């Protein structure tokens, strides 16, 4: 963040300042567990917590002032506001507008983080300096994560790549209006967070809110494979471009696709021409992500050279088809970060390509509401058609996917022991083996992957 005085911040937030207004702020904090230098602590409130109770901890960690919703007995200056969460967003919006880097934003039911990483790599190629491209750290993509991302902006940043997520209607409208992107897109729409959105139409509505914050002269990018008519009202008369992994009438599309065990090769077609891409990401769905990244980056100035250079760099993101090679004939694929129907199918499509004994370790898909049983059965049918060598499941609803009570577990330790016995047997037979683990965040399938790789004394 740029350095600001408390007087300046109080004016931006329309808050009441108590204490020395000349104190300088260099960093923003919402977590009393993290040390900060010259920090301003925002005391947030939730259903089960109230950070107003921990102001002393924030000061001990280096915060020199606090933003609170009521006057507090604290020995540092304080800015009193009506809602600290909204105040955090207001400061982020102000900073973004003041510095005004070229900004792209993306949302979707799956692939957001991979798309973010691809887009950032392209723009880093364009600037030839990684430090000039700000992008969302991890999965900080909600109504708190987005402002914290924007508040990391400084004068050095030429570009910002911002991931927007949501679990309820209105959240993306809020963060998109805060972000004010120059280009944005909905990567895809799938059955995810149905408990919060109500239906697939509700998911489409929520994701389409991203276009509401687009600058008047910005570029709205749509995936022709998931285009929803209701988005046009938000797009209005703004410039519109499209991408598609299937439709050659799109502005960005792929031809001559060749999948392999390390990624894919294809020809990327764009309004600037075409180029050959050697994509080091597993699965056909990542070709669509690459097209989306190219469209976003080119909308803010990237050329084909930067697109090719960025897409051909692998950004290894744990939990997202992350390969862990234990030894030449044993590969673990950690796809444990999250799951919905589409991402489950994509993972299975990747796994079935391997010329090896293929194990799918699957956990429940969460937040599907009344659709849960039907959606798990949909994945079960897809898995059955893939004819994998072994399917094991963990949780409640996923039992239908393994279709074998002996291969369903409610104890992850027993699941790991069973899989290790299979792995050791195949190893003794010199048979190559690939195990892919996937499930919703609540299932913590990375624990299974960790149990297995630690058994082989491997570090990565």
Query: How confident is the model over 53-78, as pLDDT tens digits?
Result: 999 999 999 999 999 999 999 999 99
- Quick check: 94 pLDDT over 60? yes
264 shares a domain with 132: yes
Structure tokens belonging to residue 168: 């309820």
- If asked whether residues 255 and 182 sit together in one domain, one would say yes
Q: Is 19 annotated as a binding residue?
A: no
At residue 173, the 3 state secondary structure works out as helix
Instruction: Say what the pLDDT of residue 269 is.
Output: 98
Within this chain, do residues 247 and 109 fall inside the same structural domain, yes or no?
yes
Residues 339 and 347: their CA atoms lie apart, in Å, by 10
Indicate whether 137 and 213 sit together in one domain: yes
- 201 and 231 in a common domain: yes
Instruction: Consult the annotation and say whether 369 binds a ligand.
Output: no
Note down the domain range covering 41.
4-82
Question: Over the stretch 30-52, which tens digit does the pLDDT of each residue have?
Answer: 999 888 999 999 999 988 889 99
Closest CA to 29 of 70, 53, 57: 57
Return the higher-pLDDT residue of 110 and 387. Answer: 387
Number of domains into which the chain is organized: 3
- Which of 274, 289, 312 is the endpoint of a domain? 312
Query: Strands across the sheet with 408-409, in order?
Result: 322-327, 330-335, 433-438, 357-363, 390-394, 408-409
Is 363 annotated to bind ligand? no
Question: Is 136 labelled a binding residue?
Answer: no
303 and 441 housed in the same domain: no
Q: Is 25 helix (H, G, I), strand (E, B) or coil?
A: strand
pLDDT of residue 262: 80
Q: Which of 272, 290, 312 is the last residue of a domain?
A: 312
pLDDT of residue 110: 82
Where residue 376 sits, what CATH number does that domain have? 3.90.190.20
Report the alpha-carbon distance of residue 155 to residue 168 in Å, rounded. Answer: 33
pLDDT of 460: 56
Per-residue confidence band for 213, with pLDDT thresholds at 50, 70 and 90: very high
Distance of CA 222 to the CA centre of its chain: 18
In this structure, the answer to whether residues 43 and 165 fall within a common structural domain is no
The per-residue pLDDT for range 293-309, each reduced to its tens digit, is: 999 999 999 999 999 99
Q: Which of 255, 281, 312 is the last residue of a domain?
A: 312
Q: Is residue 188 part of a domain?
A: yes
pLDDT at 135 > cutoff 90: yes
Tokens describing residue 370: 């009344």
Q: Which residues contact 111 (CB under 8 A, 6 or more apart)?
A: 187, 188, 285, 286, 288, 289, 292, 343
The C-alpha angle 432, 449, 415, rounded to 5 degrees, equals 90
In a domain, 384, yes or no: yes
pLDDT in tens, 162-193: 999 987 889 999 999 999 999 999 998 876 65
Percent of residues in the chain assigned helix, strand, coil, to nearest 5? 40, 25, 35
Whether 174 and 207 share a structural domain: yes
**What are the distances in angstroms from CA 146 to CA 79, 81, 90, 174?**
22, 20, 12, 10
Is the pLDDT at 151 greater than 70, yes or no? yes
Asked whether residue 343 falls in the same domain as residue 228, the answer is: no
Is 107 flagged in the annotation as binding?
A: no
Residue 89 lies in a domain: no
Is the pLDDT score of 195 beyond 70? no
To the question of whether residue 198 is assigned a binding role by annotation, the answer is no
**289 and 341 part of one domain:** no
């Amino acid at each position: 963040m740029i350095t600001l005085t408390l007087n300046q911040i109080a004016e931006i937030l329309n808050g009441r300042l108590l204490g020395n207004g000349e104190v300088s702020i260099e960093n923003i904090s919402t977590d009393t567990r993290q040390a900060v230098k010259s920090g301003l602590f925002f005391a947030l409130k939730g259903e089960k917590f109230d950070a107003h109770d921990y102001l002393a901890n924030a000061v001990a960690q280096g915060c020199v002032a606090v933003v609170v919703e009521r006057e507090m007995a604290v020995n540092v200056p304080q800015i009193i506001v009506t809602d600290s969460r909204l105040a955090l967003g207001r400061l982020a919006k102000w900073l973004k507008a003041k510095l005004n880097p070229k900004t792209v934003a993306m949302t979707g039911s799956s692939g957001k983080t991979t798309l973010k990483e691809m887009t950032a790599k392209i723009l880093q190629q364009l600037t030839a300096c990684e430090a000039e491209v700000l992008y969302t750290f991890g999965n900080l993509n909600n109504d708190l994560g987005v402002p914290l991302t924007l508040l990391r902006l400084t004068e050095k940043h030429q570009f910002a790549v911002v991931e927007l997520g949501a679990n309820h209607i209105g959240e993306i409208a809020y963060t998109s209006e805060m972000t004010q992107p120059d280009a944005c897109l909905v990567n895809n729409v799938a059955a995810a967070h149905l408990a919060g959105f109500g239906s697939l139409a509700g998911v489409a509505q929520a994701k389409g809110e991203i276009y509401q914050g687009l600058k008047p002269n910005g570029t709205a990018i749509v995936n022709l494979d998931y285009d929803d008519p209701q988005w046009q009202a938000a797009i209005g008369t703004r410039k519109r471009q499209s991408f598609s992994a299937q439709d050659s009438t799109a502005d960005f599309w792929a031809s001559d696709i060749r999948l392999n065990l390390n990624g894919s090769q294809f020809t990327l077609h764009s309004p600037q021409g075409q180029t050959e891409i050697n994509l080091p990401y597993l699965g056909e769905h990542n070709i669509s992500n690459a097209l989306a990244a190219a469209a976003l980056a080119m909308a803010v100035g990237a050329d084909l050279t930067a697109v090719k250079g960025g897409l051909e760099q692998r950004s290894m993101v744990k939990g997202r088809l992350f390969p862990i090679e234990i030894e030449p004939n044993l590969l673990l694929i950690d796809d444990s970060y999250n799951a919905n129907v589409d991402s489950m199918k994509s993972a299975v499509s990747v796994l079935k390509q391997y010329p090896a004994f293929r194990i799918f370790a699957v956990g429940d898909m969460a937040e599907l509401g009344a659709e849960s049983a039907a959606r798990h059965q949909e994945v079960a049918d897809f898995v059955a058609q893939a004819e994998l060598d072994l399917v094991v499941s963990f949780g409640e609803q996923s039992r239908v996917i393994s279709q074998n009570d002996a291969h369903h577990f409610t104890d992850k330790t027993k699941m790991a022991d069973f899989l290790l016995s299979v792995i050791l047997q195949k190893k003794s037979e010199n048979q190559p083996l690939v195990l892919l683990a996937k499930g919703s965040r609540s299932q913590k399938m990375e624990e299974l992957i960790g149990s297995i790789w630690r058994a082989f004394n491997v570090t990565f």
